Structure 1
Amino acid sequence: MYPKELGYKMPAEWTTHQRTFISWPVQDSMVYPDDYKNIWDGYVELVQAIAEFEPVTVISNPNDIDELKKIFAGERIDFLPIEHNDAWLRDNGPTFIRNQDGEMAAINWIFNAWGKKYSPWDLDNDVAPKILEHFDIKKFDAQIVMEGGSFHVDGEGTLLTTEECLLNPNRNPDLTKELVEQYLKDYLNVETIIWLKNGLSGDETDGHVDNVACFAAPGKVIMQVCHDPSDDNYQITQENLAILRNATDAKGRKLEIIEIEQPPEVHFEESRLTVSYLNFYFVNGGIILPIFGGTAKENDQKAIDVLQATFPDRKIRTIDGMAIIKEGGNVHCTTQQMIAAD
């Protein structure tokens, strides 16, 4: 049976967490392995920032654990030895759901390294079931390739995603849009799917929505926008804004849209980096926000101000967003929340 038939649904990310899971980076799988020390330092900052708000379980290859235990001290950080190829747990980790009685379960999606871009990925595809086995959590095996960063829910039946990612033939070439929708409805128990068109320019995930837009509350969406017509993201964000302005959610509400101006364009070597304030992460009582400094300093402050005004009861905890971005992701991409049972 599907989770929906048993009354399970995915809560919104801002609901209370038991803990955050994060995978430790693997030098051999990095795009820029010589930058491992900087990546390591970036992850240390991120884990410590999250641990200010809630417990963190670090998924680590066994040979890293002894060194990690020397760095991290405190009851909010523990370690789970699971071999993995790469560190983006948002995409290969389990998606936690719960039923009306507050009982937790999780979805084990098929992971194929963002359309078979990075090989091998066999260990990453086994991470979610190993986490769930360790914590003795009921598991639903979904027969569809899906990454956690490719969708966002409001907890009241509405889901945001992009056509660029979920309809990409490198994921599920035999599935129509209607069948993809049905899988999302059956496993996440949503009723309405809002399909944005494309993700940000240069995003190697093929347009993950967690760089583009997310729910701030039911009926309220935050979106990163571009005001420069010469920038590739201008047309992308204008088209997505038009879709949101014409959309209604599962409760029939028109959406309130909160705009955050994108950081200035950043390149490394010949590639555009996918710098996004929307790759923030909800934690208990706060938000972990990547900021980028340098030419983005003014935009950083604007993003902080927008989020603080949107979430007056949450602490906006900033971290260095440039630390790991060259590897293709940021705060939200690295994290996966375990929801609290009711």
Structure 2
Amino acid sequence: MFPKEQGYFFPAEWHPHVATWITFPHNDHSWQEDKLGQMYPEYFALIKAISEGELVRINVNSAALQAFVESQLPVYGIDPAKIEFNVQPTNDAWCRDHGPAFLVKEGSAERLVVNWEYNAWGGKYPPFSDDNALPSTIAKRLSLPSATPGIIMEGGSVDFNGAGTVLTSRSCLLNPNRNSHLSQEQIEDYLKNYYGVSQVLWVSDGIVGDDTDGHIDDTVRFVNTNTVIAMVEPNVEDENHAVLAANLAELKQMRLLDGSPLRIVEIPMPDAVVIDGFRAPGSYANFYICNAGVLVPIFDCPQDEIALGILRQLFNDRPVIGLSAREIIWGQGSFHCLTQQEPAPCV
């Protein structure tokens, strides 16, 4: 039986967490050696903020890397009691995409891990076999059952309202470098059966600098069951203007399962984040909702406060916290890309 048939579903990110999983960065292909060190303060600030409300479970590539992380915890004021380690070979840091997808069951203590296949965004960054192995080994570590669909799927390519709807993008999930043998209808069936949803909503594309082929977590995010934030670029000369305008037009035509339209709240993009001549995919949509707050990447530009102000109006059950991501974004991802929530059981 598919997970959906057993009553499992992927909860919204605002559902209470047991923990957040991250994979500690060590790959100098994502951050060159000098940039890896420069991003550590931002990365540990992210860990500290999450640890204020839940465990942080860290995949570390080796015992030596665990020792390094442990040595840094007091430097950044992180309570070691809120940190757990999983020593296991890894390739890169993007736990949203290679980490376990946890499903829950309403009114039950049961949980399940979906073990999607992972190919580093269409085979762009080999090797990736160690990252691909993480979900199944974590499921065993936690003594949780797992389901293996056998197709490529990345956590950053999907966003959920917890009430039967998932948002995604054609540019990513319909890209032939993922599952070229599957039609859109077949991919929707996989999403429904293995994530426990009833409706798939599609936007067209992603932002400039996003090497994932257009992950939804840089453009559109649910903030409650019927409201999304949509990134927009007011500057018509900017490369992101047209694609975000097209996505916005599509969102306005969408209807939820009850027939109601989405409530859409627009957030302006940050100034272009250009590092060493490369435009990184800076976006406020790459926030992470944890027990302690909504952690929003900021980029030292005037739009930071605009974005934080809008998000504070939308989230009234936890603080909205801006954290610098100017060094992290050089790796072409941010807070949501780096994290994967482990939800609490629905009991």
Say whether the fold is shared (TM-score over 0.5): yes
Amino acid at match of 1:241: L
The answer to whether 1:199 aligns with 2:200 is no
Amino acid at match of 1:51: S
Task: Please point out which of 249, 270, 282 is paired with 2:289.
Answer: 282
The answer to whether 1:309 aligns with 2:313 is yes
- Aligned-pair CA distance for 1:12: 0.5
Q: Secondary structure at the match of 2:326?
A: coil
What are the ranges of 5 or more consecutive residues in structure 1 without an aligned counterpart?
none
The answer to whether 1:96 aligns with 2:96 is no
What TM-score do the two structures reach when normalised by structure 1?
A: 0.96
**Equivalent position of 1:27 in the other structure:** 27
1:113-124 equivalences in 2 (<5 Å): 113-124=120-131
Structure 1 stretches of 4+ with a deviation exceeding 4 A read: none
**Equivalent position of 1:4 in the other structure:** 4
1:285/1:30 CA distance change after superposition, 3 Å: closer
Query: In 1, distance between residues paired with 2:110 and 2:19?
Result: 16
Cα deviation digits, residues 296-328 of structure 1 (max 9, x gap): 1x2000011001111123111221111211111
Q: Secondary structure at the match of 1:118?
A: coil
Amino acid at match of 1:97: L
**Equivalent position of 2:272 in the other structure:** 265
**Equivalent position of 1:321 in the other structure:** 325
Cα deviation digits, residues 66-98 of structure 1 (max 9, x gap): 121122243111211111000100000111101
Query: In 1, distance between residues paired with 2:22 and 2:31?
Result: 19
- Aligned-pair CA distance for 1:242: 0.8
**Equivalent position of 1:79 in the other structure:** 85
The answer to whether 1:208 aligns with 2:215 is yes
Q: Secondary structure at the match of 1:282?
A: strand
1:1-342 equivalences in 2 (<5 Å): 1-62=1-62, 63-72=64-73, 73-100=79-106, 101-293=108-300, 296=301, 298-342=302-346
Please provide the CA RMSD for this pair.
1.2
Amino acid at match of 2:121: W
For the 8 Å contact 2:55–2:82, the answer to whether it is kept is yes
Q: Secondary structure at the match of 1:142?
A: coil
More displaced 10-residue stretch of structure 1: 32-41 or 181-190: 32-41
Q: Secondary structure at the match of 1:106?
A: strand
For the 8 Å contact 1:29–1:85, the answer to whether it is kept is no
Amino acid at match of 2:12: A
For the 8 Å contact 2:119–2:128, the answer to whether it is kept is yes
- Aligned-pair CA distance for 1:26: 1.3
Query: In 2, distance between residues paired with 1:229 and 1:67?
Result: 46
Query: In 1, distance between residues paired with 2:199 and 2:191?
Result: 10
Q: Secondary structure at the match of 1:171?
A: helix
Query: In 2, distance between residues paired with 1:18 and 1:50?
Result: 11
For the 8 Å contact 1:88–1:335, the answer to whether it is kept is yes
More displaced 10-residue stretch of structure 1: 327-336 or 26-35: 26-35
Amino acid at match of 1:13: E
- Aligned-pair CA distance for 1:210: 0.3
Query: In 1, distance between residues paired with 2:268 and 2:198?
Result: 30
Q: Secondary structure at the match of 2:223?
A: strand
Query: In 1, distance between residues paired with 2:60 and 2:208?
Result: 31
Q: Secondary structure at the match of 1:144?
A: coil
Q: Secondary structure at the match of 1:110?
A: coil
Q: Secondary structure at the match of 2:151?
A: strand
Query: In 2, distance between residues paired with 1:224 and 1:304?
Result: 13
For the 8 Å contact 1:279–1:332, the answer to whether it is kept is yes
Amino acid at match of 1:91: D
Query: In 1, distance between residues paired with 2:202 and 2:306?
Result: 27
For the 8 Å contact 1:85–1:120, the answer to whether it is kept is yes
- Aligned-pair CA distance for 1:31: 4.5
Amino acid at match of 1:35: K
1:167/1:21 CA distance change after superposition, 3 Å: same
Query: In 1, distance between residues paired with 2:89 and 2:258?
Result: 42
More displaced 10-residue stretch of structure 1: 19-28 or 180-189: 19-28
More displaced 10-residue stretch of structure 1: 96-105 or 106-115: 96-105
What are the ranges of 5 or more consecutive residues in structure 2 without an aligned counterpart?
74-78
Query: In 2, distance between residues paired with 1:218 and 1:304?
Result: 20
For the 8 Å contact 2:157–2:172, the answer to whether it is kept is yes
- Aligned-pair CA distance for 1:54: 1.5
Query: In 2, distance between residues paired with 1:26 and 1:70?
Result: 16
Question: Percent identity over the alignment?
Answer: 37
- Aligned-pair CA distance for 1:339: 0.4
Query: In 2, distance between residues paired with 1:321 and 1:199?
Result: 19
Query: In 2, distance between residues paired with 1:273 and 1:240?
Result: 20
